[in-house]
Structure 1
């Protein structure tokens, strides 16, 4: 987003407190949203995209924003960035109410959004960094060292004098991130930041994001459908569904809160046994005809006979004893058993009922592209 006059930044927090030190008076959070609601349209055809959402993002943290398409996260980001006016609620950025002075409130905010042309493709990589530092109110010569470090850490030094239009999609994505960081923004919104990157480039970008948050106090709100990226980078995850926040916690807490799942493997598990288990337990999955299983260090190959079946059952605490009793009563000899920790994606599906990336627009057809175009315009970029 376009940033007003800003002082030169050297990576420290805006209130002069070094990372790791406690201020005398606690500074306000980077982002505070209260009672935010937004409805599109009128009457029966209207869509309540965001429904009384409250959210706080502390300085120096990385928060993941997840939700199926149509969950409301796009509209929430638009309202937060000032692209869409909410019907009710408030947004404060570093303590400043955005309605009191848009330019001042967004002075230290920037965004990299999926679908937008986030850089000028006719300019070189370094020229893009200098340009976006300039429109942030920073003398580009004064932050040349910062730009050199960004180019080095994002592995762009060799392409610094290459026009962006000649780069691969993955390289353009890294240039977009570098441009967002070029002027020293303290709060950034990143939409699908690893899209188009190969495995190694994705790791490089994740590593740099973690470093920027840890060492320079950068605050990041990251939206992605790549659960590996969210688990690897984010301190905290906010999940949305139907315009509301349905979960807000650390990755570890969300996964542990999903409950224990036990995976039992046995050739004695047939359809009748599975049906019996479903009557008494929450059966999460069944995998049939595995072919071979490990038992006492030896492999038992199925040959022509039907292979063993693995059944996953939500059973923690005393329920585990009940499960063993039920298996014994059904004549099942357990050949393998293990506790399966749910993945973040499993938690996501359980809470939202939708696979990542599925769903529709939360704006009654206006589409995700509007966010990219509006944000690009607000930064002075041509989409």
Structure 2
């Protein structure tokens, strides 16, 4: 996150004051990152709000906003229309620049890959169609997805600030290795971050590159731009194409543990006599509440040539009155609710967001899921946690872009102009 609150005051003075504070111009520049983050996350829609959030003078906030506009990052509307019945002159409105820079985001999962361009504010500017072929060689896959992203950049003509990759595996820090890409058939310990960086450089892009776990990135995106906005301690649980993942935002920051491997929620046992899990246990959430579990519980044969997630969602929407589908829905909701209750007891989040198929299960029977969590968690209904559906259709892609945007949020002037 970009810095703390800036001290007030701007002007032409270049020397610090008697209290040893930085010069006024330097203090104004130190507010650029925090100001950009406030606009980026939608928490400063006007200059008046920006002034209050930064704790600076109106003049400083105006100068900071003007510099961000000069960098091509935000747009200032100096003559916004006043709301009906309001008093006085409305404050200048702030928004991300429509034609500003973008980040190249890439996501790889067991059913394919996709590339996108994502602007400030988390908006997807352009995206490729999803590819449904995954090569067992990570270098071949990542080269293809980067090439697809480069074609988007050439088509749009947008400046690119960086590249981010979301992968369905725990990514160890600081090496950036994928420790358990089981559903990709990639080698365990593949150095995905270095491979991705090399592919970006080979494409001719001189930009920083990053990689992280897809569910962690989904949580980051939902916290900044989606259903988790405003939460202090946010728990995201999601199942995409295979398996179940979880991520935690604590006090506004993504919690990844000492080496990037925190919150492997897929290996919570929710059915001791259940299906064997690849971890060596039985009845883990990973194999009891993912699309494959739903399709088989509904008595259907998994489509070997298609997306399991699409097949499961299709059953939930198009065959929801089928008795087998209803029974499968209830079963997976109960399994998921049991796992969520255990996580609530341990983590005490103030909000839960569900993604992927879990979002669709919540929509199918929200009362049943909330009741299971309340009945099985320590505080019961008196301390029930809000459970919401994710609101970003491609939250892992948006989260991958957040990795690339972070250096700009930390230091807009340095990242974009080398100043």
Flag the structure with higher helix content: 2
Q: TM-score range by the shorter chain?
A: under 0.3
Instruction: Give the TM-score taking structure 2 as reference length.
Output: 0.22
Question: Whose relative contact order is higher, 1 or 2, with alpha carbons under 8 Å and at least 6 apart?
Answer: 1
Instruction: Give the TM-score taking structure 1 as reference length.
Output: 0.23
Give the number of the structure whose alpha-carbon radius of gyration is greater.
1
Flag the structure with higher strand content: 1
